[in-house]
């Protein structure tokens, strides 16, 4: 194996050496392609295919990367690929002249060329361009992988997305859909009267979520700062300030594990609406996802990794305690103490050290026993207060909160609250979180005195919602990994 790798590396180096020599010869003859600053195209390949009836026998100018080439003596065929697809071109010595045709024959797969000529159909009815002039616009100094039969190594695809997009052009479809999905989400909220805003990415406090932050240092201020883990606390400050409906979509950063669902930086949207609660957020979530799917995909019945998903209303709504009972038969409404809850957890095979709080046990039981079973869209509501430090308590049971998460295909897609607006209660919860942090919990919330100060001025009853945009895009593009929907996912350096 090692010998084969050495041979492949030698071949690659030799091929690159030949290409550089070709470039040097071009430069020596005053034909350096890198000196070209502009090339005036009249069409892209899709326009020619779509408008063949009007363009037949008409001159066009196109440009793209050579992905196939067939030399047949005094005439040749080549295929170029542009941003919209592929286009074949017929190139002959009679049209180009001897010198230009000779030069064309030296061009390599991967070179970027411009072609001027008339549109026609070959004897096999393939729409093509009969070249009158061919211009080398960029010399590719590195050959495409696997003789252009496709880049299959997923790790290399993620590391070198630029190559992935060249040799697997269907990958572009995912990212074009990504852009459309993001536009539709924003349009949906804009149409409801939400205001899009920007909040700081560099924070002096990592707040708004339970997560370990990335830490940096500001030299001028001589203070440590954090890349935001959420934008919640800033957005709620704006509700205090008098905005009724706000949202922000942007990058969040969490210094945590990486898997098919998690990347250290990811796109999230959070939105807040004054005078609403978590029930309103459920209705909004359901309608937003359904509307985006319909507008982007043209349907609300989708398939994700082989499983049929029905996004049409109504989505199932069930409390966390009832969901646990439905799957396991365990009824936490009948379990009052931490000791009893801990024993139940151990009997169920959960890994529990010491005595855990009843609320933490409920959440752990749900994550381990229930979450994977939630295939069709399901709202799980009324979370324990221990795992919901920013949420209003449930009036009928103050051990629970007015919070929900939405699950599809066994995966969480959104998190929402009836937002806590009691500054005294919020201070006490921050205080408990700070104590956990001092005890070594790096994911516990920090004390945010300024946010408490804001709440003391008064925040109206507010509903808040966060949706993982990357996960939503994974769902709507049937992508197995978050890396498939990020152009440049985080990767460990090879060296």
pLDDT at 4: 41
Structure tokens at 298: 């043209």
Structure tokens at 382: 């009324």
Tokens 């084969």 label which residue? 4
DSSP run (H or E) holding 102 = helix 98-105
Other CB atoms within a 10 A radius of the CB of residue 289 amount to: 24
Please tell me whether residue 208 adopts helix, strand or coil conformation: coil
pLDDT at 1: 36
Other CB atoms within a 10 A radius of the CB of residue 397 amount to: 13
pLDDT at 55: 98
Instruction: Write the DSSP symbol of residue 469.
Output: H
Burial class (CB in 10 A: 0-12, 13-18, 19+), 279: middle
**Residue 211 Cα distances to 44, 226, 410, angstroms:** 46, 12, 21
CA–CA distance, 417 with 403 (Å, rounded to integer): 4
CA–CA distance, 205 with 326 (Å, rounded to integer): 40
CA–CA distance, 34 with 52 (Å, rounded to integer): 33
| Under 8 Å between Cβ of 320 and 397 | no
Structure tokens at 284: 């909004």
CA–CA distance, 99 with 86 (Å, rounded to integer): 27
Query: Cα Rg for the chain, rounded, in angstroms?
Result: 29
Answer positive or negative: Cα dihedral of 304, 308, 314, 315: negative
pLDDT at 204: 94
pLDDT at 6: 45
CA–CA distance, 365 with 324 (Å, rounded to integer): 7
Query: Which residues lie below 8 Å from residue 439, measured CB to CB, with a gap of 6+?
Result: none
**Ordered per-residue pLDDT tens for the chain, 495 residues:** 333 444 455 588 999 999 999 999 999 999 999 999 999 999 999 999 999 999 999 999 999 999 999 999 899 999 999 999 999 999 999 999 999 999 999 999 999 999 999 999 999 999 999 999 999 999 999 998 864 445 667 888 899 999 999 988 889 999 999 999 999 999 999 999 999 999 999 999 998 888 899 999 999 999 999 999 999 999 999 999 999 999 999 999 999 999 999 999 999 999 999 999 999 999 999 999 999 999 999 999 999 999 999 999 799 999 999 999 999 999 999 999 999 999 999 999 998 888 999 999 999 999 999 999 999 999 999 999 999 988 999 999 999 999 999 999 999 999 999 999 999 999 998 998 888 888 888 888 889 999 999 999 999 999 999 999 999 999 999 999 999 999 999 998 887
Burial class (CB in 10 A: 0-12, 13-18, 19+), 417: buried
DSSP run (H or E) holding 347 = helix 338-347
| pTM of the predicted protein model | 0.91
Please tell me whether residue 85 adopts helix, strand or coil conformation: strand
pLDDT at 146: 67
383: closest CA among 370, 372, 375? 370
| Under 8 Å between Cβ of 139 and 26 | yes
Question: Taking the mean position of all CA atoms in its chain, how far away is CA 124?
Answer: 41
CA atoms within 13 A on the CB side of 370: 26
């Amino acid at each position: 194996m090692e010998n084969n790798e050495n041979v492949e590396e030698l071949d690659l180096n030799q091929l690159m050496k030949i290409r550089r020599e070709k470039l040097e010869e071009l430069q020596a003859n005053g034909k350096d392609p890198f000196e070209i600053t502009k090339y005036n195209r009249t069409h892209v390949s899709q326009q020619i295919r779509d408008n063949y009836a009007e363009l037949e026998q008409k001159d066009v100018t196109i440009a793209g990367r050579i992905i196939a080439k067939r030399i047949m003596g005094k005439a040749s065929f080549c295929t170029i690929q542009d941003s919209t697809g592929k286009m074949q071109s017929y190139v002959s010595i009679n049209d180009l002249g001897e010198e230009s045709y000779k030069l064309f024959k030296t061009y390599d797969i991967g070179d970027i060329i411009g072609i001027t000529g008339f549109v026609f159909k070959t004897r096999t009815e393939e729409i093509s361009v009969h070249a009158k002039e061919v211009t080398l616009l960029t010399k590719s100094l590195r050959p495409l992988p696997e003789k252009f039969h496709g880049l299959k190594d997923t790790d290399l695809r993620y590391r070198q997305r630029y190559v992935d997009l060249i040799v697997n052009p269907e990958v572009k479809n995912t990212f074009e859909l990504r852009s459309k999905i993001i536009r539709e989400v924003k349009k949906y909220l804009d149409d409801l009267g939400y205001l899009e805003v920007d909040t700081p990415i560099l924070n002096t406090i990592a707040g708004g979520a339970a997560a370990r932050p990335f830490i940096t240092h500001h030299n001028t201020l001589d203070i440590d700062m954090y890349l935001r883990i959420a934008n919640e606390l800033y957005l709620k400050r704006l509700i205090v300030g008098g905005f009724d409906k706000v949202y922000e979509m942007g990058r969040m950063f969490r210094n945590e594990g990486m898997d098919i669902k998690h990347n250290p930086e990811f796109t999230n949207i959070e939105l807040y609406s004054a005078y609403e609660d978590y029930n309103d957020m459920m209705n909004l979530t359901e309608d937003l996802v359904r509307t985006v799917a319909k507008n982007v995909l043209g349907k609300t019945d989708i398939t994700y990794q082989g499983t049929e998903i029905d996004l049409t209303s109504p989505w199932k709504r069930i409390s966390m305690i009832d969901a646990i009972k439905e799957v396991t038969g365990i009824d936490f409404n009948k379990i009052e103490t931490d000791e009893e809850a801990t024993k139940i957890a151990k009997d169920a095979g959960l890994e529990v050290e010491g005595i855990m709080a009843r609320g933490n046990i409920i959440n752990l039981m749900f994550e381990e026993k229930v979450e994977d079973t939630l295939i069709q869209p399901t709202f799980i509501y009324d979370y324990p207060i221990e795992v919901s430090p920013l949420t209003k308590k449930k009036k009928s049971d103050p051990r629970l909160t007015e919070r929900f998460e939405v699950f599809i295909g066994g995966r969480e897609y959104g998190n929402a609250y009836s937002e806590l607006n009691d500054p005294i209660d919020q201070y006490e919860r921050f205080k408990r979180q700070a104590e956990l942090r001092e005890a070594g919990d790096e994911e516990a919330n920090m004390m945010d005195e300024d946010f408490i100060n804001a709440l003391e001025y008064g925040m109206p009853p507010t509903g808040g919602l966060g949706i993982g945009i990357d996960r939503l895009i994974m769902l709507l593009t049937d992508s197995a990994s978050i890396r498939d929907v990020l152009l440049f996912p985080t990767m460990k350096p090879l060296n």
